[in-house]
């Protein structure tokens, strides 16, 4: 029979082989209390701006905004409406959060062995103190228990920040964002370290939804009237300076492919003008994004902001879901990605400059050993980000090190990113990383590849040092 309580073994995710497990536990013990460094994620800064922010119901917190959760139920035939996901047209969706919670409980077996299952179990036990497994029978009881916790002042985001032992947390913000919530956090005198990240996709990708309006907003917020390519670049530089002033240490860029290309000033102007007139083609968009990635690398060398690039997600694959519910609904599907040829222009122009830190994230694991590790193992500017999205998982992390480490080593990687909008899952996500890394290093120790002293230093780097240094949080 299935156990009644969550299974949260102190040795979870470690090899069952006793000698490896012993070393893994010892390495884990050396890092478990290190603060959490969160250099890339999607928590809403509003959550910290208001000291009395409340999360709402268990469904508000754990289901409705989390595409990791609802996509799995959708894949098995549960309509998103039944999970309370709001429709764009304001059409009817389930409003009874107890019913939504019951639907999750009824389908909770779907998460067996998945990262979401692992995170939620840890959240139940370690954040909410609930030992009992969620079932159809106890769903309403557990709903009550979580709601009771959420209603107490202990579950305000700022207190959780302290309880979670977070040292720094970055958000991801449009280039046109006024960062008013970050401003409010600063002005509040709270000691939490919340920083913005400059994400200019909405004004850089010519085919982004609302690009034209975004350009107008860019003019407004930057105070630079964008009417040509030169003023556009000037406005972007202004925004970067503003973000940096607000504590940002990094930018972030998303692109379907890693294509880069240096356009001549004339070409850049022509494409930009076509886009202003609403006449840019798909190929224009592709080339302009490729060009702007190079421009962003140039600016990063100048202003010191770390450059992140996320490649390979085909967004909004399911037209019906996109029309009805909008983006980020679990329908972004990876595509094959090419890096060796695509990144060559950027890396040849800027990759030899150690002032640049260029961190790449990928969804095509076949490129890990073939292209990404060899590139990161050569160019001084290039680093490889941790396993992303679907691969932020136990086996995903194992494959990442197996495929990357021997060629790129540890020091061309940058530790962990939780990359989440699910704030209470942050400790669980870092804990999975730390356990899997401890077990990986223990495997190297017991196979005689490194010794335990080296492993301990590497574990501390992986859990803490690499991220702090790569993202320039030291001394900031």
Which is nearest to 353 in space by CA: 312, 382, 317?
A: 382
CB of 354 to a copy of itself, least distance (A): 4
CB of 203 to a copy of itself, least distance (A): 26
CB of 328 to a copy of itself, least distance (A): 13
Choice between 133 and 158, CB closer to a copy of itself: 133
Buried b (16+ CB within 10 A) or exposed e, 249-274: bbbbbbbbbbbbbbbeeebbeebbee
- Does 131 help bind a copy of itself (rule: CB under 8 A)? no
Number of Cβ within a 10 Å radius of residue 163: 12
Please provide the DSSP assignment of 222-234 as one string. HS----SHHHHHH
C-beta separation of 80 from 325 below 8 A: yes
Size of the chain in residues: 476
Binding mask 287-306 for a copy of itself (x = CB under 8 A): --------------------
Q: What are the Cα distances from residue 77, in Å, to 72, 81, 136, 327?
A: 9, 11, 18, 19
Choice between 348 and 476, CB closer to a copy of itself: 348
Choice between 329 and 430, CB closer to a copy of itself: 329
Instruction: Give the footprint of a copy of itself on residues 456-475 (CB under 8 A).
Output: 457-458
Choice between 98 and 378, CB closer to a copy of itself: 378
CB of 211 to a copy of itself, least distance (A): 23
Please provide the DSSP assignment of 403-454 as one string. HHHHHH-STTB-------S-GGGHHHHHHHHHHHHHHHHHHHHHTTSS-HHH
- Candidate segments 8-16, 40-48, 52-60, 463-471, binder of a copy of itself by CB under 8 A: 8-16
CB of 378 to a copy of itself, least distance (A): 5
C-beta separation of 417 from 40 below 8 A: yes
In the set 91, 92, 113, 189, which binds a copy of itself (CB under 8 A)? 113
CA distance 22 to 443: 11
Binding mask 47-86 for a copy of itself (x = CB under 8 A): ------------------------xx-xxxx---------
- Does 344 help bind a copy of itself (rule: CB under 8 A)? yes
CA distance 290 to 474: 31
Binding mask 156-185 for a copy of itself (x = CB under 8 A): ------------------------------
Which is nearest to 308 in space by CA: 296, 322, 321?
A: 296
Q: What are the structure tokens assigned to 436, written together?
A: 């899997």
Q: In 3-state terms, what secondary structure has residue 177?
A: coil
Question: What is the size of the binding site for a copy of itself (CB under 8 A)?
Answer: 97
Binding mask 17-46 for a copy of itself (x = CB under 8 A): x-xx--------------------------
Please provide the DSSP assignment of 66-117 as one string. -HHHHHHHHHTT--GGGGTPPPTT-------HHHHHHHHHHTGGGGTTSHHH
In the set 136, 281, 352, 476, which binds a copy of itself (CB under 8 A)? 352
In the set 16, 91, 92, 153, which binds a copy of itself (CB under 8 A)? 16
CB of 176 to a copy of itself, least distance (A): 30
Q: What are the structure tokens assigned to 432, written together?
A: 């999975």
Instruction: Give the footprint of a copy of itself on residues 373-392 (CB under 8 A).
Output: 373-380, 382, 390-391
Instruction: Give the footprint of a copy of itself on residues 196-235 (CB under 8 A).
Output: none
- Candidate segments 89-97, 228-236, 276-284, 446-454, binder of a copy of itself by CB under 8 A: 446-454
The DSSP 8-state label assigned to residue 389 in this structure reads G
- Candidate segments 94-102, 189-197, 230-238, 314-322, binder of a copy of itself by CB under 8 A: 314-322
- Does 323 help bind a copy of itself (rule: CB under 8 A)? no
CA distance 120 to 428: 8
């Amino acid at each position: 029979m299935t156990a009644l309580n969550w299974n949260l073994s102190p040795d979870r995710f470690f090899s069952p082989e006793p000698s490896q497990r012993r070393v893994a536990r010892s390495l884990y013990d050396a890092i478990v209390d290190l603060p959490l460094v969160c250099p890339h994620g999607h928590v809403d800064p509003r959550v910290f701006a208001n000291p009395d922010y409340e999360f709402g119901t268990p469904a508000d917190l754990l289901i409705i905004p989390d595409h990791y959760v609802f996509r799995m139920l959708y894949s098995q035939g549960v309509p998103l409406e039944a999970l309370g996901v709001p429709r764009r047209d304001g059409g009817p969706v389930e409003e009874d959060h107890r019913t939504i919670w019951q639907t999750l409980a009824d389908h909770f077996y779907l998460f067996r062995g998945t990262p979401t299952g692992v995170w939620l179990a840890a959240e139940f036990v370690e954040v909410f103190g609930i030992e009992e497994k969620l079932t159809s029978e106890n769903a309403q009881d557990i709903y009550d228990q979580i709601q009771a916790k959420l209603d107490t002042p202990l579950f305000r985001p700022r207190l959780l920040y302290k309880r979670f032992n977070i040292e720094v947390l970055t958000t991801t913000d449009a280039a046109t964002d006024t960062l008013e919530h970050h401003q409010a956090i600063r002005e509040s005198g709270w000691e939490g370290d919340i920083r913005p990240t400059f994400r200019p996709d909405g004004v850089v990708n010519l085919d982004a939804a609302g690009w034209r309006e975004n350009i107008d907003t860019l003019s407004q917020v930057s105070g630079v009237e964008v009417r040509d390519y030169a003023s556009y670049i000037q406005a972007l530089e202004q925004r970067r300076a503003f973000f940096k002033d607000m504590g940002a240490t990094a930018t972030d860029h998303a692109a379907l492919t890693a294509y880069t290309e240096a356009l001549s000033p004339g070409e850049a102007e022509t494409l930009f003008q076509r886009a202003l007139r609403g006449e840019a083609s798909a190929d224009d968009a592709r080339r302009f994004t490729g060009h702007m990635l190079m421009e962003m690398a140039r600016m990063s060398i100048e202003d010191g902001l770390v450059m992140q690039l996320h490649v390979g997600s085909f967004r909004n694959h399911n037209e019906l879901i996109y029309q009805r519910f909008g983006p980020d609904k679990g329908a972004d599907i990876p595509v094959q990605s090419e890096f060796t040829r695509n990144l060559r222009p950027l890396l040849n122009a800027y990759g030899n400059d150690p002032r640049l830190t260029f961190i790449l994230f990928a969804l095509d694991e076949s490129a890990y050993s073939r292209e990404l590790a060899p590139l990161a193992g050569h160019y001084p500017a290039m680093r490889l980000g941790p396993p992303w999205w679907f691969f932020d998982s136990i086996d995903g992390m194992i494959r990442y090190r197996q495929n990357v480490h021997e060629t790129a080593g540890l020091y061309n990687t940058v530790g962990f990113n939780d990359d989440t909008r699910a704030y209470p899952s942050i400790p669980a996500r870092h804990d999975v990383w730390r356990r899997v890394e401890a077990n990986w290093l223990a495997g190297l120790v017991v196979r005689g590849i490194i010794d335990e002293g080296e492993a301990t230093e590497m574990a501390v780097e992986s859990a803490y040092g690499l991220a702090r240094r790569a993202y320039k949080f030291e001394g900031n």
